[in-house]
Amino acid sequence: MGLLKKRVNEFPTPYTCTNAIKEGGLSTKLSMILMGFGNIVNGQVIKGLIYLFIEIAYLVFMFVNGIGFIAGLKTLGSVEQQEIWDEAKQIYTYTKGDQSILILLYGVAAILITVLMIVIWRGTLKSAYKAECLRKEGKHVNNFSEDLKTLLNENLYRLFMTPPTAFVFIFTILPLVFMICMAFTNYSRIDNHLMLFDWVGLDNFKTLFDSKSILGSTFWSVLAWTVIWAFFATFSNYIFGMILSLLINRKGTRAKGFWRFCFVLSCAVPMFVSLLIMRTMLQPEGAVNVLLRNLGLIASDKSLPFFTDPTWARVTVIIINIWVGVPYTLLQLTGVLQNIPEDLYEAARVDGANAIQTFTKITLPYMLYVTTPYLIVTFTGNINNFNVIYLLSGGDPVTDLSSTAGKTDLLVTWLYKLTIDKQYYNIGAVIGIMTFVILAIGALFTYRNSKSYKEEGGF
């Protein structure tokens, strides 16, 4: 029943757009057409003129370019670049054609500017209605200088949140919407669609989900390995880090600082350096194989297939990820263990609880309670763990020459290869969308499971 209840605003205000439209005076309602008119009538001249200037600037932009940008989204351009032989210069010249990528970018930007304008329009309407209500009630209506002063007091959050919100809008939302739109086009090197491309609807998704096609079979294989990798990379680090932290922090362990130093020492070296060193050492002629040959453990003409056999390669990247990731988990859980109240353990011993019961009823629930955000971040990070895979195995080995991915490629490394190496931008955009969906589902699944475990553990 709680989910059916309406959300109650913690700070209710009567100055809403609905009230402005229903109960506002003529000047407020005219502000729906002439932004800032209500503010000007109620004494906020400078503020009203600023709103009016914003509206005029938006209308000029839309009439000059915006409408054309949005209209161009229908076809994404139709004039192809022409190659013409210049007899006088004896060279080929090229006529300027439509560039679909710019048409798509400008069209998306124009739509987002319109959405932003709607938000500003709602703000101006509420501002005009507030000024009208204050004037009718005989209360003071702030002038422009007083409004500026409120930015340093009750409206300080607006002053600090506006710049980061603008940057998020420009550098996150706009590219994200642009990438999503690209997934529904045929923008790629296939058939030379680099300059001019068209909408293809859900064809890219159908191709990717078709297990009979090369891209489809590759996608399902990479997706399965990405989920397996994220699971083992997350929980193997967590479990081994938990074991190490329990062993080091137990009362009978001596020289705790020394043992922590030994395991955390790898954190002092940049991860990419460690990964490149391990990649070199595990090559067929690397230090590990050479040492094994010299010890007589393998034949002189043989080498362990760390990165040449699919199974070996996958196990290798998981083990090395444990080596570079466990120290961070060790540090996290050491801080958690040191903050568990000792009274809980004393009460458990008095009640006759053994070590296993104490661990399952006190230690583990407490650790999960504190480290749930860390688990979620680690799981999502491992799905997008570009560094470990690309720097260590490069996605190899490639067992199928017709495939664009290797046996250790994750969705993110395969996405990199498709866009940078193969220039299949449309398929790359689809994979980007699917990666986001998997991240959201994985994070939600991890959060719910850890939450239910905490509830069952009674912590």
CA distance 56 to 404: 51
The residue among 96 and 201 whose pLDDT is bigger is 201
User: What is the arithmetic mean of pLDDT over 375-383?
Assistant: 85
User: What is the arithmetic mean of pLDDT over 6-24?
Assistant: 71
pLDDT of residue 7: 42
Q: How confident is the model at residue 306 (pLDDT cuts 50, 70, 90)?
A: very high
pLDDT of residue 45: 92
pLDDT in tens, 354-367: 888 888 888 888 88
Phi, psi of 443 (to 5 degrees): -65, -40
Instruction: Give residue for tokens 């209840």.
Output: 5
- Residue 6, classed as helix, strand or coil, is coil
Residue 311 has pLDDT above 90, yes or no: yes
Residue 116 has pLDDT above 70, yes or no: yes
If we measure between CA atoms, which residue out of 121, 120, 123, 132 comes closest to residue 24? 132
Question: Which of 10-24, 224-238, 274-288 is predicted least confidently?
Answer: 10-24
Residue 68 has pLDDT above 90, yes or no: yes
Amino acid at 242: M
pLDDT in tens, 158-176: 889 988 988 998 899 999 9
Radius of gyration of the chain (CA): 31
Are 431 and 404 in contact by the 8 Å Cβ rule? The answer is: no
Q: What is the CATH number assigned to the segment(s) 204-455?
A: 1.10.3720.10
- Residue 93, classed as helix, strand or coil, is strand
Question: Which of 2-11, 102-111, 427-436 is predicted least confidently?
Answer: 2-11
Question: Which of 93-107, 372-386, 444-458 is predicted least confidently?
Answer: 444-458
Question: Which of 91-100, 326-335, 373-382, 399-408 is predicted least confidently?
Answer: 91-100
Are 48 and 39 in contact by the 8 Å Cβ rule? The answer is: yes
pLDDT of residue 437: 84
In 161-188, which positions are buried (b, 16+ CB within 10 angstroms) versus exposed (e)? Answer: eeeeeeeeeeeeebeeebbebbbbbbbb
pLDDT of residue 403: 79
pLDDT of residue 6: 43
Instruction: Return the domain boundaries, the chain.
Output: 17-191, 204-455
Are 395 and 414 in contact by the 8 Å Cβ rule? The answer is: yes
Residues 6+ apart with CB under 8 A from 398: 405, 406, 407
Mean pLDDT of all residues belonging to the chain: 86
Q: How confident is the model at residue 190 (pLDDT cuts 50, 70, 90)?
A: low
Give 7's DSSP letter.
P
- Chain-centroid distance, C-alpha 109: 21
What torsion do the CA atoms of 301, 306, 311, 313 make, to the nearest 10 degrees? Answer: -150
CA distance 273 to 145: 56
* Strand 83-86 relative to strand 91-94, pairing: antiparallel
- The answer to whether the predicted template modeling score (pTM) of the entire model surpasses 0.85 is no
Are 344 and 367 in contact by the 8 Å Cβ rule? The answer is: no
pLDDT of residue 4: 39
Q: What percent of the chain has pLDDT over 90?
A: 39
Q: How confident is the model at residue 2 (pLDDT cuts 50, 70, 90)?
A: very low
Residue 244 has pLDDT above 60, yes or no: yes
